[in-house]
Amino acid sequence: MTSISQHDIGLVGLAVMGQNLVMNMANHGYSVGVFNRTTETTDAFLSRLKDLPEDVASPDSVNFISGYRTLAELVGHLKSPRKVMLMVKAGDPVDVVIQQLIPQLDQGDIIIDGGNSHFLDTIRRTKEVEDAGLVFVGTGVSGGEEGALKGPSIMPGGSTTAWESVKELFQSMSAKVGEKGEVPCCEWIGPDGAGHYVKMIHNGIEYGDMQLICEAYFLLKHVLKMENDELAKTFAEWNQGELESYLIEITRDIFTVRDEETGEFLIDHILDTAGQKGTGRWMCQHALDLGTPTSLITEAVYARCLSAQKELRQTAGNLLVGPTEQFEGNREQFVEDIRQALYLSKLCSYAQGFSQLAEAAKEFGWDLDYGQIALLWRGGCIIRSRFLEDIKKAYDRNSQLENLLLDEFFRNAISKSQPSWRRVVATAVRFGLPTPAFSAALSYYDGLRHERLPANLLQAQRDYFGAHRYRLIDKNKDETFHTDWIRKRKEI
């Protein structure tokens, strides 16, 4: 392997995502120096490069990668301004590496955090790195292992002076869309934590999409008694229309795979518990801080939490009873109802996600381009889908759109198909099947469309027991009132 003394970028952290990003950069002609805390990992990565197939690492690309034993050696072999990308575990490890790098870098050099860091950490780190005379980029990278290698969606934010220095590299290695594959799925998001915030919203929407698909599967399996072959066919048909997306596509594939040992369908042997890495939970926690009703995605997080309580559910399953129903309706119509419910719930999921983005932008002073953000997710990332074009068009029609559900396209879609949505949720209740995301989406829509909600009673209750005061419809909105409810109540 040829040693390159002046690399375009250095990368720290050679887990699978880091390795694949290195090969992606090298495949696009960029020279990369790599460092890992454990030198055995670096040696193993370098030794297998020459044996990788050409669709993973081109013959020339292996000559663009060199490994180093220390951070100092890596930094010493980078072109100025030096760029160092961190692909280490989020949290304290990022801070440790940053503090090790700062004394070794010169003014104007760039530190890039490409992990799933919390946006508040990125806001703090941007200031700390800038105070040291350096430049910081906190960037979301979506697409998993395959995306990292073949082209992810990249969502950079941080120091406002950074974009011109990393633009060519990032856009070169990102996914491409458009008729000729000419549009990179990478654009500057905004200052400090904006990039990682958008990635967090992406991951939260991903949680929602996955939960909605799981609920559709559960209904098809337990109401219509579909076998896996029929499920695969159904999801293949759904992927030809409005629901066309990466997640629908891989769901179709999953129902076709058999276990090599037993010959039976693998899906039926997978334990029904799901984990999470934190980004979905962060989104819901910050939604509460902002006072934004991101209810569908919160229910998706809670669904994973409930799935993890396997022993409790096994105990409860032997003690708690539910309805016993048999489906007697039109099977084809109910399949279509589920498809429509999935589509409309998905609309609500994105509406909630973009509403939270808008509230966060107000909170932190970010000037976000929501249509452009939707376009970043068209390729490379987990939630890529046909539907994202419709979001871009909605913001083209009205860049100040308060909620996606107010757009004409979204209004018409829900108006046309909401009977299906309601039939699905009602059927799930009748059969005793949990559909927290479908139900949360419908409740959100119904809550949004009601000009008057029962919070007037809630205000009265709070004033009754805690003298929290209330406002009146026909009075100044800043004027509050208190009633001595006990003295004025009447006996019934």
Per-residue pLDDT of the chain (492 residues; tens, 9 = 90+): 344 569 999 999 999 999 999 999 999 999 999 999 999 999 999 988 877 877 777 777 778 999 999 999 999 999 999 999 999 999 999 999 999 999 999 999 999 999 999 999 999 999 999 999 999 999 999 988 999 999 999 999 999 999 999 999 999 999 999 888 889 999 999 999 999 999 999 999 999 999 999 999 999 999 999 999 999 999 999 999 999 999 999 999 999 999 999 999 999 999 999 877 788 899 999 999 999 999 999 999 999 999 999 999 999 999 999 999 999 999 999 999 999 999 999 999 999 999 999 999 999 999 999 999 999 999 888 888 888 999 999 999 999 999 999 999 999 999 999 999 999 999 999 999 999 999 999 999 999 999 999 999 999 999 999 999 999 998 888 899 999 999 999 888
Q: Report in angstroms the alpha-carbon separations of 438 from 245, 390, 405.
A: 18, 21, 16
pTM equals: 0.94
Yes or no: say if 363 and 370 are a contact pair by the CB < 8 Å rule.
no
Q: Extract the tokens encoding 401.
A: 């759109």
* Residues linked to residue 37 through DSSP beta bridges, in sequence order: none
Torsion angle of alpha carbons 257, 261, 262, 268, nearest 10°? -50
Task: Please give the pLDDT value at position 1.
Answer: 38
Strand 83-86 relative to strand 110-113: parallel, antiparallel, unpaired? parallel
For the stretch 18-68, pLDDT in tens is: 999 999 999 999 999 999 999 999 999 998 887 787 777 777 777 899 999
For the stretch 285-328, pLDDT in tens is: 999 999 999 999 999 999 999 999 999 999 999 999 999 999 99
Relative orientation angle of helices 331-364 and 228-238, to the nearest 10 degrees: 60
Residues 6+ apart with CB under 8 A from 150: 24, 143, 175, 380
Yes or no: say if 129 and 117 are a contact pair by the CB < 8 Å rule.
no
Residues marked as catalytic: 199, 206
Neighbours of 177 (CB within 10 A): 22
Domains of the chain from N-terminus onward: 9-192 (3.40.50.720), 199-449 (1.10.1040.10), 455-488 (1.20.5.320)
For the stretch 80-123, pLDDT in tens is: 999 999 999 999 999 999 999 999 999 999 999 999 999 999 99
Q: Long-range CB contacts (< 8 A, 24+ apart) of 210-214?
A: 210/247, 210/300, 211/299, 211/300, 211/303, 211/304, 211/436, 211/437, 212/296, 212/300, 212/342, 212/345, 212/346, 212/349, 212/437, 212/438, 212/441, 213/247, 213/248, 213/251, 213/342, 214/303
| CA separation for the pair 247, 243 (Å, rounded) | 9
